[in-house]
């Protein structure tokens, strides 16, 4: 996979993380679990893409009919404020904290954090820098904070971190098929959650890089870096920002071969088959640009190692009807 979408932690400084202690999972009511979630009907839909912008090496195609059971999914990504409540309740420390560093988009590193930039760059994506002390509360490194970004998506969360939060919330990560069905909002084979045109009638509908990457962002869509999780309009199912803003972890192990026996839409285990393998990310981010990473289309996909974290990676949660309390 392209490092521009999100570098693997293995490309940075080598270090073993400090082990994280387990935490108690609270008893939750159905109302508590479903707060901020939207229902997605079960049934078939056309998954994948094969138009001129598709990236075959990513395994976007072929377009195929996939059937999913009814489920609920968060209307928006988990915010800094929501993640802070999880941390306060459990004392959880993310993998970025335990490793001691995470990846930050170089131009975003503030003067206060320049001394914390670790040596070396990511091959093929020199704009990524490993920054000591970068984590979800200090997303650009020491001296930065999320004080004004409580309603922005939490970032610098690994796949393991996202799963920990989901377990605490009484939910899980969505399968890739669930994520795509929800992101499409009921549209059939559309390129984006709102249709086929990126900016219909000149209206920006998502937070991506505008201008010349990586040197100049025009801010035409109103944002540099992350945007609030409910920025722009919701899709037909009521989901916000499934294109751009932050990449979103899914449950599944990544495979570019959609004919593989363990492809996500044919599995009964939504948690994915094995630890250690790269995991799927969907949706693109605020760093996506058509000249190098046209992956803010609904069918686009990428992957990263489950212990990796970046300043443009977040998540949202899902839950099956059968898993809800009182079912």
How many other C-beta atoms can be found within 10 angstroms of the C-beta atom of residue 164? Answer: 21
Residues 6+ apart with CB under 8 A from 308: 6, 7, 8, 9, 10, 103, 158, 159
Mean pLDDT of 178-185: 98
Q: What is the pLDDT of residues 184-233, one digit of tens each?
A: 999 999 999 999 999 999 999 999 999 999 999 999 999 999 999 999 99
Q: Which two tokens stand for residue 265?
A: 């839409």
Alpha helices in the chain (DSSP H): 30-34, 80-90, 95-99, 159-168, 176-184
Q: Report if pTM > 0.85.
A: yes
pLDDT band at residue 18 using 50, 70 and 90 as cut-offs? confident
Distance from C-alpha of 169 to C-alpha of 316, rounded to nearest angstrom: 11
Q: Which of 39-53, 149-163, 248-262, 298-312 has the lowest mean pLDDT?
A: 248-262
* Percent of the chain at pLDDT exceeding 70: 92
Mean pLDDT of 148-168: 97
Q: Which of 8-17, 32-41, 90-99, 277-286 has the lowest mean pLDDT?
A: 8-17
Rg from Cα positions in the chain:
18
Residue 37: per-residue pLDDT: 98
CA distances from 156 to 130, 153, 161, 261 (A): 12, 10, 9, 32
Q: What is the pLDDT of residues 226-240, one digit of tens each?
A: 999 999 999 999 999
Residue 17: per-residue pLDDT: 77
Residue 57: per-residue pLDDT: 85
pLDDT exceeds cutoff 60 at 128: yes
pLDDT band at residue 259 using 50, 70 and 90 as cut-offs? very low
Mean pLDDT of 270-275: 42
Q: With contact defined as beta carbons under 8 Å apart, do 302 and 1 qualify?
A: yes
Residue 20: per-residue pLDDT: 77
Alpha helices in 23-129 (DSSP H): 30-34, 80-90, 95-99
Q: Which two tokens stand for residue 25?
A: 């999972």
Residue 23: per-residue pLDDT: 93
What DSSP designation does 139 have?
Answer: T
Residue 264: per-residue pLDDT: 44
Distance from C-alpha of 140 to C-alpha of 213, rounded to nearest angstrom: 19
How many other C-beta atoms can be found within 10 angstroms of the C-beta atom of residue 29? Answer: 12
Residue 327: per-residue pLDDT: 67
Distance from C-alpha of 270 to C-alpha of 251, rounded to nearest angstrom: 6
Q: Which of 52-61, 139-148, 188-197, 222-231 has the lowest mean pLDDT?
A: 52-61
pLDDT exceeds cutoff 80 at 138: yes
What DSSP designation does 176 have?
Answer: H
Q: What is the pLDDT of residues 64-120, one digit of tens each?
A: 999 999 999 999 999 999 999 999 999 999 999 999 999 999 999 999 999 999 998
DSSP line for 140-172: TSTT---TT-TTSBP-S--HHHHHHHHHHTT-B
Q: Which two tokens stand for residue 36?
A: 């901020």
Q: Which of 149-158, 165-174, 213-222 has the lowest mean pLDDT?
A: 213-222
Q: Which two tokens stand for residue 40?
A: 């997605």
Q: For residue 173, give the 3-state DSSP assignment.
A: coil
Give the residue from 253, 288, 244, 292 showing the smallest Cα distance to 271: 253
67 DSSP β-pair partners: 44
Q: What fold is seen in the domain 51-94+151-323?
A: 3.90.1580
Mean pLDDT of 286-305: 92
pLDDT exceeds cutoff 80 at 2: no
Residue 256: per-residue pLDDT: 74
Q: Which residue has the tokens 């075959």?
A: 56
């Amino acid at each position: 996979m392209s490092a521009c979408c999100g570098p693997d932690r293995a490309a940075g400084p080598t270090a073993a993380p400090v082990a994280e202690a387990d935490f108690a999972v609270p008893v939750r009511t159905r109302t508590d679990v479903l707060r901020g979630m939207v229902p997605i009907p079960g049934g078939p839909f056309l998954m994948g893409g094969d138009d001129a912008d598709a990236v075959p090496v990513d395994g976007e195609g072929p377009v195929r009919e996939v059937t999913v059971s009814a489920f609920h999914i968060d209307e928006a990504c988990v915010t800094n404020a929501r993640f802070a409540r999880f941390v306060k309740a459990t004392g959880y420390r993310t993998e970025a904290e335990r490793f001691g560093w995470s990846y930050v988009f170089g131009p975003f590193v503030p003067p206060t954090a320049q001394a914390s930039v670790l040596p070396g760059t990511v091959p093929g994506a020199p704009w990524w820098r490993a920054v000591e002390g970068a984590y979800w509360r200090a997303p650009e490194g020491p001296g930065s904070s999320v004080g004004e970004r409580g309603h922005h998506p939490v970032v610098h969360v690994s796949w393991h971190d996202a799963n920990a939060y989901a377990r605490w919330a009484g939910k899980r990560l969505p399968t890739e098929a669930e994520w795509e069905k929800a992101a499409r909002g009921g549209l059939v084979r559309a390129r984006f959650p709102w249709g086929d045109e990126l900016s219909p009638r000149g209206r920006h509908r998502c937070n991506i890089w505008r201008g010349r990457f990586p040197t100049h962002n025009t801010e035409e869509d109103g944002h540099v870096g992350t945007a609030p999780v409910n920025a722009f309009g919701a899709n037909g199912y009521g989901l916000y920002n499934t294109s751009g803003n932050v990449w979103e972890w899914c449950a599944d192990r990544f495979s570019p071969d959609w004919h593989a026996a363990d492809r996500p839409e044919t599995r009964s285990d939504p948690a994915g088959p094995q630890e250690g393998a790269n995991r799927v990310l969907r949706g693109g981010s605020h760093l996506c640009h058509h000249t190098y990473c046209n992956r803010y289309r609904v069918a686009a996909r990428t992957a990263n190692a489950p212990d990796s974290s970046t300043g443009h990676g977040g998540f949202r949660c899902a839950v099956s009807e059968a898993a809800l309390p009182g079912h």
